[in-house]
Structure 1
Amino acid sequence: MYYFEQNYDNIRYPKSNTKNTGLRNAQLGAIHAIAAFFSTRNDPALVTMPTGTGKTAVMMIAPYLLGAKKVLIVTPTKLVRSQIAEDFKSLVILKSIGVFNSEVDNPRIYELKRKYDYNKHRNFIKDCDVVVSTPQCALTISKDEEIRELFDFIIVDEAHHEPAITWRNILSNMVHSKKLLFTATPFRLDDKKIKGELIYNYPLSFAFRDGIFGEIKFIPVDIGKDEDKDIELAKVAEGVFFNDKEAGFKHCLMVRTKSRNEAQKLLSIYQRHTKLELELVDSSRTKKAVDETILKLKTSEIDGVVCVDMMAEGFDFPNLKIAAIHTPHKTLATTLQFIGRFARTNSDKIGSAKFIAVNDEELLIENKKLFSSDAVWQDLIVNLSDEKINNDEEDKEYLKKFQSQGNTIVNEEFSLFSIRTNYHARIYRTIKFDINKTFPDIDQIIEKVLVSKSDNTIIAVTSERKLPRWSTNDGVFTDVNYNLFVIHYQEKTNLLFINSHKKNEKIYENIADAFCGKNQYEKIIKSNIHRVLSNLTGFEIFNSGLTNRISEGESYKTSAGPDVSRAIDSSSGQLYSPGHVFCKAQSADANLTIGYSSSSKIWSSAYGTVKEMILWFDINGEKITNKKAEVKTHTNYDLLPMPKEMEKIPSNIFMFNYSENSYLNPHNLFSREQHLSNDTILDIDIKIQFDSIKDNRICLKAKYGSKSYLLCRDLAGRYSTSEKDELFLKVGREKLSLTEYLNQYPLLFFTSDLEVITGREITKSSSSLSAFDLNKIKRIEWANYNTDITLEFRSSKTMDKNSIQDTIGDLLIENEDNVYVIFDHSTGEIADYIAIKLGGNCINVEFYHAKGMSSKHFNSSVGDIYEVMGQCVKSLIWIKSKASFEKKIKERQKSGHCEFKRGTLDGLADELSKNIPMRGKIIAVQPSLTSSKNIPDKIGEVLSAVNFKINNSGVANEFIIWGS
């Protein structure tokens, strides 16, 4: 019979009380939980007991309780290894509290101080009952098949280290052993899962209730403007130490900082500015030197120590009661380990623990303001610890609800608990969601799909294999990337959240199509997604994007910095509306970051578990759908006009413009033979069918070459067509139909009062438009040039007539100031004519847009006005920069659409290369307009809007009309 089996009957369970020493409640609870668990299970078990509650005694009782044959104890440090080996060798702890009487034989202990060597260590290990080792040495035991078979029980101390690869390998190698893990903090600094089932948790609050931990006091230090933080902290620490000493307490001081260099600096500060006797303890010192310093502490030869993270684990000295925190820990796990060294009560002549720190905004632990002068510090510590442990257990229970769907191939070691992802999501509104649908084909290998029907959540892992950039040999080497997808449908709000680590518009849509049905969902409009900022305070906006509704000089303005809202003023609302925002703010109990964009996305800098992210989804989902939610950032960001949900499509739409992306990166068209063309999206002639604008749709006609067909844009901003043979464009590696393209890169529509329509939202203009100045309509004597004002350009059937374009050309050539005269024609044109004047230290570019008179009466052809005014505004994009203008001219000439009537392309290129600014002038050539007759309000509004937009564009300085 083995030693532990032989001595099982000698165990007693005396209960500690005011009269007798014995086992504490925490120890009794843990002991019985261990016995109960291993009576039916053989899985790894985890016991949580705060530092100082007596887990060493429980660790020593466990082998007797389970009748172990041979025990391997793995400890994190040499210091802890030696302490446990000594305690186990003498059983002094268990005998002193009455668990064993003095006659019980002590176990044979072997402290393995070197990596396992067969010849040196085999016999010692075979002859002992317990081996105590650090991870590096224990790993060598676990790799030896013969010696590891001798052990049937492994105890891991400070198990929050367990997910580290060395610890994990030890447990994996010792397949046939029972495994018992102990920790004071059952959560890792890196959020990895401790691989053991939590069978007993003694809350920190109970340690205070049962008197195991004493009172904790926080002493805040306020620093004046010209005062040195470290010096002031040192002086306060000195005062606290000597006050405690006068009160009869035998207290010692620990000065905590973040690095060895800082520790050396602080030691010098304390020596110069206080009378305290301190020594430095850091990782560069030998164990012998550290032991000597600890002995000096215990014998009161010194008053305290300056250290970084030494003595955090395994150091039991109840008289260590004062902590001067020059640099606080940032995580709860390390904070609790630290506090546990100061809160113990098992010594004479000690009082409450005292923590001294500067009371400033940097002192946060896991985003919670722990160091606060108005905080009940002890309660905060307790609540944080209990909340963290409870959350971890809730996470485990939550993840148990996920079931695998279909055949999956991810390694079985894959654990949902190991997922820590940053919070972000594309959001759609839908009333139809089917969780039983199959995860869609997104051109990746589907590795694993897990489904939780209890809260409509799907987790998918996919992989994609690509050639490295340096390889052209197919299939020899490939890079493998894994992508995570978390899909959650919030039934209460009808919102679908898609968290995709592969951010691609097509992937988002494929997923939504799969689970909601094609066209059964829509993006969230900006005014609704803006509500994620509701119920928050203390905003600091450090990244924002502003959409310029008027200017073409800068269509989207991105700002980043400490508080970019300061750059917004009351006039900003005349030009800009919100595009995206990312900010820091405060909720009721924590600091947070939150951002949103007009593309129906929200995000945060936070990382968390799947359960935490789903909770984040749900919180923000309820905000988004709360129609009563009000957002006030109390910053200048509030000055920007927020788009509103569009109830119906306005009838006074007069033009559209392409998305910024379409101009910056014009995607190429496929020809009718499906060959890639040099023509782009800008070469498609798209026109609004003004007479068919309804409350819920806009019809457009797309024409390219001989092909033309109708498109419809609905109230939500989705494009569709009944045409089966659409135009197609190349976008990346994909081939998209025109409707698919416009759904991805939607058009912007403008009304005659400069409202802007994007998606289902409309942004009201805060600008007041003045009446159009009729003096801007220049009368042209068309009859003098024998011009047919109903004819925009000549064709084979009208060769005997002089068109409007002909007359424009003649007038521009007559003017000798025009150094360059360019005729541009067909779809995708910059303008019908371009005239360029030089001089005055400026390159003056004039765009002439012509439209024939289709009505019988002057100032009555609304359709003609809308079309030519839309062309005028669209052409502003080509004078944003000299480079883009030159590039466009070259492309048009290469395709045969652009002809120099005066000057040459090379000459123009030389002029544009000079360091001279370029300014634009826009001329609408519309003979149906005249200043001699009354202009109807509908036309007048459009003229005013175009005049305002051009004059405030930042790229053109004048707008005039050539009329009659």
Structure 2
Amino acid sequence: MPINLPRISKLIYEASGNEVWQCFGGEQTLDNIQFVKTNPFVIESNGINYLLTSNKDDNNVAAHDFVLLTSKKPIRKDVNANHLNIKRWLKHPSFVVATPDQVIASWKDKFNFIKENEEANIKGLRPPQMGALHSILAHIQNPEDKAIVVMPTGTGKTETMLATLIANECNKILVSVPSDSLRNQISNKFITLGLLKEFGIVGADCMNPIVGILNSGFQTPQELQDFISKCNVVVSTMDILTGCTNAERTILKDSFSHFFVDEAHHSEAETWKELIAKFDKGKVFLFTATPFRNDGQSLKGKVIFNFSLRKAQEQKYYKEINFLPIREYKKELADKKIADKAVEQLKADIEAGYNHILMARCKDKTRAKEVLEYYQAYPELNPIMVHTGIGGLSKKIDAIKRGEHSIIVCVNMLGEGFDLPNLKIAAIHDERQSLPITLQFIGRFTRTSYDELGNASFITNIAYPPIHDELDKLYARNADWNLLLPRMSANATQKEINIKEFLDGFQNINQSEVPFGEINPAMSTVIYKNSNYEWNPSNWQAGFAGIEGYEYVFSDTNHTDTLVIILGKIEKVEWGSFETVQNLQWDIVVIHWDLRPNINRVFLNTSLKAFSGSTLMDAIFGEGRTSLITGMNVFRIFHEVHRLKLYNVGTKRGIGQDITFQSFFGKGVQDGIRELEQGNLIKNNFFGVGYKAGEKVSLGCSVKGKVWSYQRGNLDELTKWCKEIGEIVENDAIDPNIVLQHTLAIEKTSQRPDVMPTHINWHSSMYEFAEDRFRFNFDGVSFDMADVELNLLNPTTNGSLQFSLDTPQHSVHFELQLGVNAETEEKYFQIIKTNQTDCTVLYGNKSADIRDFFQELTPTIWFADGSQLIQNLYVKLKVFPGVIPLDSIITDTWNSVNIGNESQDIAPYIQDSIQYYFINKIRNDFQVIYDDDGKGEIADIIGINDSDKVIDIHLYHLKYARNGTVGNNIDNFYQVCGQAQKSLKWKHKDGKEFFNHLFKRKTKTLNGVSCSRIVKGTEDDLESLLSQAKFTKPINFHIYIVQPSLSKANASNDILLLLGNVHHYLATVGNIELKIYSSL
């Protein structure tokens, strides 16, 4: 029976769990084994005797040249059954005694720069390894800062470290890693020098380094010093290193010539940062696949080499990635669907001859237990759960590596440092919401350790994608991950490189108390025209009043275009007069000079409030040489900002009306007011959010010249943003009068208006979230906003204001009461629940009784004249609109239709209903038709067309005729007018929310019978529209009222006025022209 022997490694030192090793040869297999004797236990193979013993102090060791340590006393039975566990060599003729210096001496002139050439079958360093090595060696000659080496997972970071050790003949290297598994993996590489000897990169007579493995701390600093003195390389987790005392940290700093930090995207964590700062910057090398962090912090240091993810994929270091999404809005069903899809792919891979392993990753142990149940439905694949703290973890990991389990459910494991090429299928049950973590995670599955292992596959639920926009693109259905992954990583990495290059231009940056790389100002500026072609930034203090009052003053200039001033001042707190309680107020001033052919502008950004920069400009550019750009041209910044929502509007004196309900409480003011509503108001300041060049932007401006955004960025991004703003503001081809605004009359009231209520809306802040943010729980049954709705109860012109919260099975009744407090004379409001149905609302990490919820987030009641009641704030138009234009009314004969029957119900449909008739009337006009009739509907019928540049969505609101007759009963219109007005909210929500709503409700159920709501088109059509709405195409909304009871020829003035109010609202708030379908 053959016996596998471990590599020929000598354990030089062992104490407190820490070890020092040196390798003298590789693994081998003994065959033709003969038993020589059993006491001591000696076997013979090919003429050589081997002593096997479980006692490392065995007296027989001296008499033998080849001695192996076993885990238990060796016996013939175990040898024959191949159950003998050999731990290590105790003695071997190859063992020599050498000091670390002698080892280094053996490396001299033994490194060969052999470059890999696949066509010529030459094995050597790959291009990223060769490039990184040359960059490192060059940096070592002039190390001004910590070096950052960016190499994506799988391109050979560890081998690059090994090559650096030998090529540079490094005296003593400390290697830190974030995990135990990575420590074992990297220490083994250093012990054997990996592939360097096999490929001839390192000479055969070059001694392997003496490697210390730090598994725990030492009792005394002297023990640590002794340990280090025995080694060429020490490998440790960062947790052990950061746990060192100050004395031990000093020993580390003084003992090592180089400090390699692996997976260095962790290095800005406070404990890591403190330790790294102890070392001289020139000693530190940060190796990472992703030089950016989830918390936004960037790595400190100089990027000396950056091999992008795109290049890695182009050069075949990564396999192709298959993205296999599922869409399931019910979270309780999503895990099963993910598991089924992942197992389906696993079985297909196995059938195709690929010995793949599936990993299902969960965010915590509770989720892992839940998810494991779904995989246990496939016992033939032997699913297993692993996480830190689980019993027998090491044995489970070993079993996984042996291929005994085809499915692994894990918690935050099998990532960094876990090298198992067969891991090719990832079932992502809990999304990883950071780009760095995602790239690390994906990298584990796409490495090409063995070409025959095929491609990686990823399965996740795209109904609830991560928050970050970049990952939203990644998780879009049919996304080409092979394209998106490199592009995202390159963008993120390039941002880091850009800021480093920008900061390199500053001369005195290291003297600043505030790290320039961490400055993250709000994007804001005022703009000056400049007539001078020279500047004197060092003279800035001459133009800064009160500079002597600052305790800290620092300034530096980048190249010739950006001056950064940092100021610190001790100030008294505003809430008292104390000598011992004070604030240290920090402020920043950034001046960027944009001087190009035909362009000479200066931008001023500052955190100082009410700061006037005129004297500062005079001091730097000369008196009278700059002039502040003010006035209406500043409003040009809104040029080409599409789907703009204005959140803050300031106006000067005027006569017109701002009919948008958002303006007075900060909700979005809509994207245009038509010419007929304009009055004498003058723009003063605007702030809003919209989309420009496919990206969401926030912009504000004032006639005084200030331009601002809620966006933040580093100093490099600020200067680029300023240049873009300057180009727009001074472009005379742009009309500044692109945004017009009016105001509303607002007053507190203690009485309801004597006007008919038409509809009730959720509190405006609720529309800022996805529909599943709010969950309404009735006796354990939960609904989100897609399946509940608010309705008025028994509306009248002067009765109590009652409303209900309704689901298909439940209804909770309320009353909004208004009054005056007799003691304080303050006007108040309160919500009263008027029936016995209970409901609890869950939102975020809060829960509330439904009455308390509505007391805080009170719905808005709208009235027939366009006014609205928000709690006890009554908001009305100053000038009422007229009747609806008659050309907005379209007539029909309604042949064979029972106009008293509104809904077609479910298949088989009610064919004489208004809905059935109208769907067939418009069937040929749309690519997709959707029946959304029911509680929580957007509209009764939705028609969708997709063109090259825009998605057009048509919302049809239907209402039956009371008594089935045509006439002038205005009660036929209040509800449907309210529905039309309510549906406008969808224009101002993200397009994905609209299509998510349709997906959630894709099945229509009535009395236990179901059918699809998609009357024309397919789910794939909706998927395509969803992706386009997210990332490429704007959406145009069109709204209709379908009411056969109206006679266009004989309509009453009251009805036409009511329709005129809705027409006016949709036009002014949404720039949508209401159309009415009526009878003749």
Fold equivalence (TM over 0.5): yes
Q: CA RMSD in A?
A: 4.2
**1:12 aligned counterpart, secondary structure:** coil
- TM-superposed deviation, 1:530: 2.8
Corresponding residue for residue 105 of structure 1:
207
Corresponding residue for residue 794 of structure 1:
none
- Deviation track 1:182-214 (CA, whole Å, cap 9, x = no partner) reads 111223334444333222222222222222111
Instruction: Check 1:511–1:426 CA distance in 2 against 1; reply closer, same or farther (3 A cut).
Output: same
Q: Which amino acid aligns with 1:111?
A: I
Instruction: Check 1:236–1:212 CA distance in 2 against 1; reply closer, same or farther (3 A cut).
Output: same
Q: Please point out which of 506, 514, 518 is paired with 1:402.
A: 506
Distance 2:395 2:694 in 1: 45
Corresponding residue for residue 251 of structure 1:
356
**2:446 aligned counterpart, secondary structure:** coil
**1:8 aligned counterpart, secondary structure:** coil
Q: Which amino acid aligns with 2:438?
A: T
Distance 1:582 1:231 in 2: 45
* Aligned residues of 1:16 and 1:23 also touching (Cα < 8 A): yes
Distance 1:153 1:239 in 2: 49
- TM-superposed deviation, 1:339: 1.9
Aligned-pair identity in percent equals 29
- 2:557 paired with 1:451: yes
**1:389 aligned counterpart, secondary structure:** helix
Q: Which amino acid aligns with 1:297?
A: I
Distance 2:673 2:384 in 1: 54
Corresponding residue for residue 481 of structure 1:
585
Corresponding residue for residue 415 of structure 2:
312
Q: Which amino acid aligns with 1:425?
A: T
Corresponding residue for residue 700 of structure 2:
595
Distance 1:324 1:526 in 2: 56
Structure 2: where are the runs of 5+ without partners? 1-100, 744-877, 882-1080
Q: Please point out which of 173, 184, 188 is paired with 1:86.
A: 188
Distance 1:427 1:621 in 2: 7
**2:698 aligned counterpart, secondary structure:** strand
Corresponding residue for residue 421 of structure 1:
521
Distance 1:289 1:630 in 2: 71
- TM-superposed deviation, 1:411: 4.5
Distance 1:365 1:51 in 2: 22
Distance 1:222 1:433 in 2: 59
Of residues 481-490 and 563-572 in structure 1, the stretch that sits farther from structure 2 once superposed is: 563-572
- 2:343 paired with 1:238: yes
Instruction: Check 1:125–1:581 CA distance in 2 against 1; reply closer, same or farther (3 A cut).
Output: same
Instruction: Check 1:234–1:515 CA distance in 2 against 1; reply closer, same or farther (3 A cut).
Output: farther
Of residues 516-525 and 142-151 in structure 1, the stretch that sits farther from structure 2 once superposed is: 516-525
Corresponding residue for residue 476 of structure 2:
372
- TM-superposed deviation, 1:54: 1.0
Q: Which amino acid aligns with 2:170?
A: A
Corresponding residue for residue 499 of structure 1:
605
Instruction: Check 1:30–1:595 CA distance in 2 against 1; reply closer, same or farther (3 A cut).
Output: same
> 1:38-437 alignment to 2 at 5 Å?
38-41=140-143, 43-100=145-202, 104-116=206-218, 117-139=220-242, 140=244, 143-144=247-248, 145-146=250-251, 148-175=253-280, 178-223=283-328, 228-268=333-373, 278-282=383-387, 284-285=388-389, 289-307=392-410, 309-347=412-450, 349-359=452-462, 362-363=465-466, 365=468, 367=470, 369-373=473-477, 375-403=479-507, 411-412=511-512, 414-429=514-529, 431=531, 435-436=535-536, 437=539
Q: Which amino acid aligns with 1:393?
A: I
Instruction: Check 1:538–1:556 CA distance in 2 against 1; reply closer, same or farther (3 A cut).
Output: closer
Q: Which amino acid aligns with 1:52?
A: G
Q: Which amino acid aligns with 1:36?
A: A
Distance 2:154 2:255 in 1: 32
Distance 1:204 1:481 in 2: 42
* Aligned residues of 1:547 and 1:557 also touching (Cα < 8 A): no
Of residues 217-226 and 38-47 in structure 1, the stretch that sits farther from structure 2 once superposed is: 217-226
> 1:637-676 alignment to 2 at 5 Å?
none
Q: Please point out which of 122, 134, 147 is paired with 1:32.
A: 134
- Deviation track 1:818-875 (CA, whole Å, cap 9, x = no partner) reads xxxxxxxxxxxxxxxxxxxxxxxxxxxxxxxxxxxxxxxxxxxxxxxxxxxxxxxxxx
Instruction: Check 1:619–1:43 CA distance in 2 against 1; reply closer, same or farther (3 A cut).
Output: closer
Corresponding residue for residue 852 of structure 1:
none
- Deviation track 1:139-164 (CA, whole Å, cap 9, x = no partner) reads 43774445643322221112222333
Instruction: Check 1:606–1:126 CA distance in 2 against 1; reply closer, same or farther (3 A cut).
Output: same
Corresponding residue for residue 919 of structure 2:
none
- TM-superposed deviation, 1:468: 3.9
- TM-superposed deviation, 1:169: 3.2
Distance 2:103 2:700 in 1: 63
Instruction: Check 1:380–1:163 CA distance in 2 against 1; reply closer, same or farther (3 A cut).
Output: same
Instruction: Check 1:225–1:56 CA distance in 2 against 1; reply closer, same or farther (3 A cut).
Output: closer
If the length of structure 2 is used for normalisation, what is the TM-score? 0.53
**1:341 aligned counterpart, secondary structure:** helix
**2:268 aligned counterpart, secondary structure:** coil
Distance 1:24 1:392 in 2: 25
Q: Which amino acid aligns with 2:109?
A: D
- TM-superposed deviation, 1:431: 4.5
Distance 2:697 2:214 in 1: 47
- Deviation track 1:23-71 (CA, whole Å, cap 9, x = no partner) reads 2222222222222332344643222211111111111221222222222
* Aligned residues of 1:250 and 1:319 also touching (Cα < 8 A): yes
Distance 2:378 2:639 in 1: 49
- TM-superposed deviation, 1:124: 2.2
Instruction: Check 1:42–1:512 CA distance in 2 against 1; reply closer, same or farther (3 A cut).
Output: closer
* Aligned residues of 1:329 and 1:365 also touching (Cα < 8 A): no
> 1:644-723 alignment to 2 at 5 Å?
none
Distance 1:584 1:275 in 2: 54
- 2:639 paired with 1:534: yes
Distance 1:375 1:255 in 2: 21
Q: Which amino acid aligns with 1:487?
A: I
Structure 1: where are the runs of 5+ without partners? 642-765, 770-964
- TM-superposed deviation, 1:382: 1.4
- TM-superposed deviation, 1:281: 4.2
**2:453 aligned counterpart, secondary structure:** coil
- 2:108 paired with 1:4: no
Of residues 622-631 and 514-523 in structure 1, the stretch that sits farther from structure 2 once superposed is: 514-523
Distance 1:6 1:158 in 2: 30
**2:196 aligned counterpart, secondary structure:** helix
Q: Which amino acid aligns with 1:422?
A: A
- Deviation track 1:292-318 (CA, whole Å, cap 9, x = no partner) reads 444343344333334454333222222
Q: Which amino acid aligns with 1:10?
A: K
Distance 1:518 1:16 in 2: 64
Instruction: Check 1:577–1:292 CA distance in 2 against 1; reply closer, same or farther (3 A cut).
Output: farther
* Aligned residues of 1:3 and 1:69 also touching (Cα < 8 A): no
Distance 1:582 1:272 in 2: 55
Instruction: Check 1:32–1:228 CA distance in 2 against 1; reply closer, same or farther (3 A cut).
Output: same
* Aligned residues of 1:529 and 1:600 also touching (Cα < 8 A): yes
Distance 2:323 2:693 in 1: 22
**1:402 aligned counterpart, secondary structure:** coil
If the length of structure 1 is used for normalisation, what is the TM-score? 0.58
* Aligned residues of 1:141 and 1:147 also touching (Cα < 8 A): no
- Deviation track 1:639-693 (CA, whole Å, cap 9, x = no partner) reads 769xxxxxxxxxxxxxxxxxxxxxxxxxxxxxxxxxxxxxxxxxxxxxxxxxxxx
- TM-superposed deviation, 1:280: 4.1
Distance 1:357 1:379 in 2: 18
- TM-superposed deviation, 1:463: 0.8
